[in-house]
């Protein structure tokens, strides 16, 4: 997935030096086994707003929602990573040498919501769930 790979390459892992080789910083599913926080999950939550691009067109306009969730050990780490993720996705919309979302045919970047979800207690995981969306034109 383009978004996962882009975030993995361009958002700094605060504990990169101590993370084991099998424990990924950016992943495409919620953790099912114990992990070392912080982590970032990127999930496509389905496709919505499908419509044709004209009466005789085989092209379709799709809205693709992407959930990016930051899971962190404390509020500062959560806030810093949330800002880094947002800045990366916002600033990587158009070309400029590296692969951009526009190069991947993902257009109309939009942050739809950002919700804080904190587990109770001092040691509880602090997270932020951001819902982004892109437009995509399907067809040839």
Contact 26, 42 (CB under 8 A): yes
- Across the range 73-89, mean pLDDT stands at 96
Q: What is the pLDDT of residue 120?
A: 83
Q: What is the pLDDT of residue 140?
A: 61
Q: What is the pLDDT of residue 98?
A: 62
Residues 6+ apart with CB under 8 A from 101: 2, 3, 6, 89, 92, 93, 107, 109, 134
Q: What is the pLDDT of residue 22?
A: 79
Could you give the angle at which helices 2-10 and 75-91 cross, rounded to 10 degrees? 120
Most confident of 42-51, 57-66, 77-86, 92-101: 77-86
Q: What is the pLDDT of residue 6?
A: 92
Contact 80, 12 (CB under 8 A): no
Q: What is the pLDDT of residue 117?
A: 94
Query: Cα 120 to the chain's mean position, in Å?
Result: 25
pLDDT, greater one: 11 or 19: 11
pLDDT in tens, 34-49: 889 999 999 998 887 7
CA angle 38, 21, 28 (to 5 degrees): 55
The pTM assigned to this predicted structure is: 0.88
Right CATH for 2-138 from 3.30.56.10, 3.30.2000.10, 3.40.50.2300, 3.10.450.50 = 3.30.2000.10
Q: Which residue has the tokens 């067109």?
A: 57
Contact 116, 128 (CB under 8 A): yes
Which alpha helices (H) appear in 1-140, and where do they start and end? Answer: 2-10, 75-91
Q: What is the pLDDT of residue 121?
A: 78
Specify the length of the chain in residues. Answer: 140
Give the other-Cβ count within 10 Å of 132's Cβ. 23
């Amino acid at each position: 997935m383009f978004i996962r790979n882009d975030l993995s390459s361009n958002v700094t892992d605060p504990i990169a030096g101590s993370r084991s080789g099998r424990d990924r910083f950016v992943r495409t599913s919620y953790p099912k086994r114990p992990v070392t926080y912080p982590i970032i999950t990127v999930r496509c939550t389905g496709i919505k707003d499908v419509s044709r691009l004209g009466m005789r067109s085989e092209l379709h306009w799709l809205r693709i929602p992407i959930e990016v969730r930051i899971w962190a050990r404390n509020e500062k780490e959560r806030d810093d990573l949330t800002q880094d993720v947002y800045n990366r996705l916002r600033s990587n919309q158009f070309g400029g040498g590296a692969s951009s979302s526009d190069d991947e045919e993902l257009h109309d970047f939009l942050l739809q919501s950002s919700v804080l979800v904190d587990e109770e207690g001092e040691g509880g995981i602090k997270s932020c769930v951001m819902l982004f969306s892109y437009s995509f034109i399907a067809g040839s």
